Structure 1
Amino acid sequence: MGQRVVRVALVAGVIVLALLLLLATCGGGGDNNADSDAGAGKERKSSRSSAPARKSAAAGPATRLAVPSAYTNERGWQVTGVSPDYAVAASAGRVGYLERVSATRFRLRTVDATSGKTRWAGDPWQPLSDPEHFPRLLAVAKDGREFFVTWSYGKVGEDALSAADMIVALDVYDVESGTQQRVELPWADVPSVNGAGPGILVSDGGADSAVVDPATGLVTRVAAADLRYPKGCGECRVETQVRAVTEKGVLVSGRREFWVRGGWHSRKTAPAGTEPASGVPTSVVDGRIVARWKKKRGTEGAADYDVWAVHDATTGKVLAKAECRKPAIEPGTYPRAAVAPEGRYVVAGSLGFDLETGAGHCFEEADGTKPLSLTVATDTGIAYGTTATHTPVEADLTTSRPTALPANVHVPAVEVAGTALFPWTDRKDRPHLIAYARRS
């Protein structure tokens, strides 16, 4: 009897061991986005990957937020634990975001905007800045090519002793191929970096700057003495700031007036009915400049209204304009502009413009109160944003009619390739990037 018990126990043990070996050989299903660093090469070409770690467009994303009626939360994708910054390449229909690989290393991943499938993933790297926080990410386009750029700022080595040892490190990726090049730029002060034009602008927030060509990595330094101040513009030398890169050169502004070095001067491209020397650029995006102008003295409404215009960054030409009541207090900062993917519509705070018709509208109350803050424009002419009380809203830019949405509706942050992105943080403070398709 005792021998039979022993035999039964041995057989059971063998069966259990076989099951354990079978499970070990099958392997556990980890996150497909978190590739091992062990196989990461040192070449400048990013590694290819086609295994998405997200719900497919057919299955739909796991999280179903309430969204505007133009979108369906049943088709799309989502990723979790992503960087607060993300980048969009409209022509390629790609979305780029950063993911954490380890406590100190990060990787750029690019996905198809419609399906959420990975197109390529860059090699892991360690930023110069505090690894507790994600590095910064932006998009830039030049000559028909689109690029994603990650950047960080910090010291060179552990023994940096002075500001001369501080650099801006930029990793520039071709959106289509994933090919990567690194640019390191000595920089003494905390930098401002943007990709609003066909070049990456690194600035000190004032007159000193550098332009990085995303295609070649060539760096061109621009000092205050090189800005070619327009003749007769005393205000141009006060509060001087390099704002963006244009096809013709850097865009520069002073306390009043703005110009492109070696190109055009705002005084010569002022909207009709405005003071030529009053222009102040407030935002630059995708080759468009939003600027505020004073109406000509003595004209109707000059005491109460300003003119807001959208200019072509290459020529300075006025593309559309609108009038808004002057604020009682000059704002310290101006709203960021956003342009629709195909470039027809532009919004900035309470302003909406149709660049095809040249029409503009200021969403405001009779007393000048700005009830809307529009943050995204779509190719259908619908813009989204919030009211002063944070109620979600959509506005038809073709009719200038706003509509309040239910309080639980999430408005999109951007639309690309018929898909809207909705950054969202859950109750456990985990960041998500959720994509929902536009209804057909």
Structure 2
Amino acid sequence: MRLQFGRLAPAGGGTTRQRVVRLALVGGLLVLALLLLLATCGGGGKKDDGKPEKPVKKSTGPATQLTVPASYTTRRGWELTDTSPDYAISRTTGRLAYLVRTAEGEYRLRTIDSETGRAGWSGDAWRPPAAAHFPRLFTVTTDDQEYFVTWSYGKVGQEAPAPADRIVSLDVYTVEDGGRQRVDVPWATAPTVTGTGPGIVIGNGGATSAVVDPATGRITRVPAKALKYPKGCAACKQLTEVRGLTSKGLLVSGAREFWVQGGWFSRNVAPKGADPQSGIPTSVAPGVVLAKWRLAKGAKLAATHDLWTVHDTETGKALVSVRCHKPAIAPGQYPQAVVSPSGGYLVAGNLAFDLEAGKGFCFEDTEGSRTLVLASVTDDGTAYGATNVRNAADALAGGGFPVTAELSAGSTELLSPNARMPGAEGAEGVGLFRWSDDKDRLHLIGYPRAD
């Protein structure tokens, strides 16, 4: 018999010894093949090129790792990409709503759990009248229900003349299940749309307005003559503007004084030490209005300081006040008031208020310079902002020098120069941060509180 590599040459039957030899050879070849396989597969922690394998990377939270205040951690959280500039948070459910643009140029409202980032309900896609821009988005709360509201302003059809046939198009969603209704309100001029009270207020920047009931979609138009101007208030009919809504009626301002339609009048609820005929509401937030007052005539600081007061919108009651230097030049627009999730704190520009403790703070230097702008505040009384910025939007976009303020102590502290500020907090204290990548895609990131 003659042996060839790996197999027997053709021959007649073999002896037992020959079969043993054949089996031994085959077994040896199998062992050799196995050794070669182990060598080529990196059994010793090596790749084909002989370099050590990289360990599998464990999850380290959202892909985008921003520099944030030490009270938050970037090791956990969630991240959304290509979202709308606006987002809205339901305080009763913890849901966060945002808009996305579809490939067909339509828009869709989506929701997530603001604590976990887990997806919630999603609305149907639709095309608003101003399809080239993201619709605006906010929440509105009635006595027993919260709603997400989107709005856009534009022509009814592509061929519609201007300004006729223009509408404010509202989509109102119940926060629990996304039940939706469309409300279109004919409106000839550029609108203001707000949801700080128990309804949606559409205004023209003056005395004309309409109120939309979010539960029924009912539209109530309110002409200027129905605003119930207070008796003896000549300034109330000058520069009249509808500012918001309370359960008792519209909140309205004049050149110097303000009132609730058929309700309280600022002259009667002026804070102690103020000129009662000088109140100007500068900003409205859910449940409160921030007003600027002149100090009473003859007061020691009347020439150099104003009195800033937070009022309850339902009663007009002055909740807390603070004195602050008058600006050298009156601002073209006052900062928007921002309230903490539970409503215990309020910030606006360089002003901050602890509403529960009845403390007010004016953050300025000894010369009265107002370089600090506060943009957000949390339920533990920590406010975030920046110096050397024009407004809150600049501070949240990473401009200026980041600052944190502790309202319990009235103190401030500079943060890392490249730290990003949370625009708000979601459920369980998850900070919400904005960031744009090099492709101009807008990211919304949720970082939880650090342990």
Q: Is the 8 A contact 1:393 1:403 kept in 2?
A: yes
Offset at 1:157?
2.4
Partner of 2:448: 437
Offset at 1:159?
3.2
Give the alignment partner of residue 402 of structure 1, picking from 391, 407, 412: 412
Matches within 5 A, 1:290-329: 290-329=290-329
Mapped to 1, the partners of 2:100 and 2:301 lie a distance apart of 52
Unmatched segments (≥5 aa) in structure 1: 1-57
Partner of 2:287: 287
Q: Is the 8 A contact 1:103 1:132 kept in 2?
A: no
Report the structure number with the largest CA radius of gyration: 2
Name the TM-score, length of structure 2 as normaliser. 0.83
- Where has structure 1 moved over 3 Å in runs of 4 or more? none
Mapped to 2, the partners of 1:158 and 1:348 lie a distance apart of 40
- Percent of aligned pairs with the same amino acid: 53
Q: Is the 8 A contact 2:236 2:257 kept in 1?
A: yes
Q: Is the 8 A contact 1:370 1:388 kept in 2?
A: no
Offset at 1:102?
2.2
Matches within 5 A, 1:30-429: 60-129=61-130, 131-388=131-388, 390-417=400-427, 418-429=429-440
Partner of 1:14: none
- For residue 431 of structure 2, give the secondary structure of its aligned residue in structure 1: strand
Offset at 1:59?
6.1
Mapped to 2, the partners of 1:253 and 1:402 lie a distance apart of 34
Distance 1:192 1:331, change over 3 A: same
Offset at 1:429?
1.0
- For residue 236 of structure 2, give the secondary structure of its aligned residue in structure 1: helix
* Counterpart residue type for residue 113 of structure 2: D
Mapped to 1, the partners of 2:329 and 2:239 lie a distance apart of 20
- For residue 76 of structure 2, give the secondary structure of its aligned residue in structure 1: strand
Mapped to 2, the partners of 1:110 and 1:416 lie a distance apart of 13
* Counterpart residue type for residue 431 of structure 1: L
Mapped to 1, the partners of 2:270 and 2:426 lie a distance apart of 33
- For residue 365 of structure 1, give the secondary structure of its aligned residue in structure 2: coil
Deviation larger for 381-390 or 266-275: 381-390
Mapped to 2, the partners of 1:237 and 1:326 lie a distance apart of 26
Q: Is the 8 A contact 2:280 2:292 kept in 1?
A: yes
Offset at 1:162?
4.6
Partner of 1:18: none
* Counterpart residue type for residue 397 of structure 1: L
Q: Deviations over 1:212-262 (max 9, x none)?
A: 111111111111111110011111111100001112111000110000001
Offset at 1:110?
0.9
Unmatched segments (≥5 aa) in structure 2: 1-58, 390-399
Offset at 1:60?
2.0
- For residue 84 of structure 1, give the secondary structure of its aligned residue in structure 2: coil
Deviation larger for 190-199 or 395-404: 190-199
Name the TM-score, length of structure 1 as normaliser. 0.85
Mapped to 2, the partners of 1:309 and 1:142 lie a distance apart of 25
Aligned length, in residue pairs: 382
Mapped to 1, the partners of 2:319 and 2:144 lie a distance apart of 22
* Counterpart residue type for residue 255 of structure 2: R
* Counterpart residue type for residue 354 of structure 2: D
Offset at 1:284?
0.5
Partner of 1:36: none
Mapped to 1, the partners of 2:194 and 2:299 lie a distance apart of 38
